Amino acid sequence: MSELVGKAFRGGYAVPAFCAWNAEIMEAVLSVSARLRAPVILMSGPGEFPVLAPHIMAAVAYAIKERYDTPAALHLDHGDSLDMVAQCIDARYTSVMLDFSARPFEENIEALRQVVAMAHPLGITVEGEIGRIGKADDVTAEGGGASAYTDPAEAAEYVRRTGVDLLAVSVGNKHGFYRGEPHLEFGLLSELHAAITVPLVMHGGTGIPEKDIRRSVGLGIAKVNVASELVHGFRGSLTGQWRESRNLWTPMALGEAARAIVPVIEKWFRMTGAAGKA
């Protein structure tokens, strides 16, 4: 993922990372990526592994990726333990995140140092998080109940001492659906961009206006995570079909739900500027 995101960081665009919890979603994302000639990141984590364990999730992703000539990474999002990180490394994830942002600062640093030591010799990218990216609603799987802004001095020390390749930052962004329009602290994001040499990551992309996404990209954001919007679109299609007694045969319903989120995927490739960059 360092190659994809590093190129975006230097080129003034961002790579979207889509929550992909099954084969249908992976197929939809990768097919749009190939059609729009856009780099892409498939991500999964503790909220998705009850569907498919890491080694099965990765096997499915690699099998589908073989069909498409498009640059893609497979990312562990919000890994919650060193054991989970190790499982994903063994499963051939190309990027891993250990989210210890709610832990004490020194514990977060020490854990990410261990992840870097495991991952870097194998060419695997590491993402960390400093500050805390909370939830905007009560149903989202990722994030805690409260947010804490990222401190630029702490962030610079964190990157220096851990050796992480990307840093997820908290500047008013949250996981889930925002109540009203989100308010991003662009002054803080500018400070972080000046203090840190690695690409920055925007979690909680769902609901952030295009103008704010584009402004964020100009201030160091080179990866934008999209999850809630996909989940909502997929679930909405299924519930609508079943309410209308259409496609009660589940495989057909899943296929229609996957097609229903294609416009969302297309939108994010264009909003981040990734379309045409492969």
Mind telling me the catalytic residues? 77
Joined together, the tokens standing for residue 77 give 């999002």
- Enumerate long-range contacts of 60-67, CB under 8 Å, 24 or more apart: 60/22, 60/23, 60/26, 61/20, 61/26, 62/92, 64/23, 64/26, 64/27, 64/30, 65/30, 67/30
Query: Nearest 5°: phi and psi at 173?
Result: -75, 145
Task: Name the β-bridge partners of 76.
Answer: 44, 96
> CA-to-CA distance for 213 and 208, rounded, in angstroms?
7
> CA-to-CA distance for 270 and 38, rounded, in angstroms?
9
Q: How many CA atoms, within 13 angstroms, populate the side-chain half-sphere of residue 226?
A: 30
> CA-to-CA distance for 199 and 220, rounded, in angstroms?
6
Of 159, 108, 115, give the one whose Cα is nearest residue 132.
Answer: 108
3-state secondary structure (DSSP) of residue 167? strand
Task: Name the β-bridge partners of 225.
Answer: 17
